[in-house]
Amino acid sequence: MRREAVSKQVTSALPWVEGTSALVVIVLAVCAIGLIRSNSQRETAILQAVGGDPERAVPAMIRNGCGGCHEIPGVPGAHGTVGPSLRGVAEREYVGASRTSPDAMMRWISRARDVDPNTAMPNTNLSPQEARDITAYLYART
């Protein structure tokens, strides 16, 4: 094939390639926006149901040493291996000895030994608001 013919084929295909590339970028952007909006709506629903603020949870978890035993996504220094990872903890069937629910989670993280006297998890004696904040974080962001 002659050089001019190859050049002409490449030039005529360029608008199609550019158009397709632009379409792919637009579709990816729309999907990303939808995912962000979906995550935002999910988090808002969780926060309303639980009554906690995940922004206050990270300092509370650091202050109470949760990361010394647990790996907690998004919490600086929370790389403990003594207790289970808290990644996806809200998706688990049980928390402690109870079916997983926000109320069970709040009870467990503040008074675990009252729920199960044989657990290694200590009673943290968190305030009800701290327990709500940490539960909101675990449900919305892990």
* 45-98 tens-digit pLDDT: 766 678 889 999 999 999 999 999 999 999 999 999 999 999 999 888 888 878
The label of the residue with tokens 């979906």 reads: 38
Task: Give this prediction's pTM.
Answer: 0.68
Of 77, 45, 44, residue with least CA distance to 59: 77
Please state, in angstroms and rounded to a whole number, the distance separating the CA atoms of residues 101 and 94: 8
Name the CATH code of domain 52-142 (choices 1.10.3720.10, 3.40.640.10, 1.10.760.10, 3.30.2130.10): 1.10.760.10
Contact 47, 134 (CB under 8 A): no
Q: Is the pLDDT of residue 5 over 70?
A: no
Q: What is the pLDDT of residue 1?
A: 55
Q: In which band, very low, low, confident or very high, does the pLDDT at 35 lie, cut at 50, 70 and 90?
A: very low
Q: What is the mean pLDDT of the chain?
A: 81
Which pair of tokens denotes residue 40?
């935002």
Please state, in angstroms and rounded to a whole number, the distance separating the CA atoms of residues 130 and 114: 18
Mean pLDDT of 15-25: 61
The number of beta carbons lying within 10 Å of the beta carbon of residue 11 is 9
Looking at the chain, the whole-number percentage of residues with pLDDT higher than 90 is: 49
Looking at the chain, the whole-number percentage of residues with pLDDT higher than 70 is: 68
Report the amino acid identity of residue 128. Answer: P
Q: What is the pLDDT of residue 20?
A: 62
Q: What is the pLDDT of residue 38?
A: 52
Please state, in angstroms and rounded to a whole number, the distance separating the CA atoms of residues 110 and 128: 8
The β-bridge partners of 98 are 95
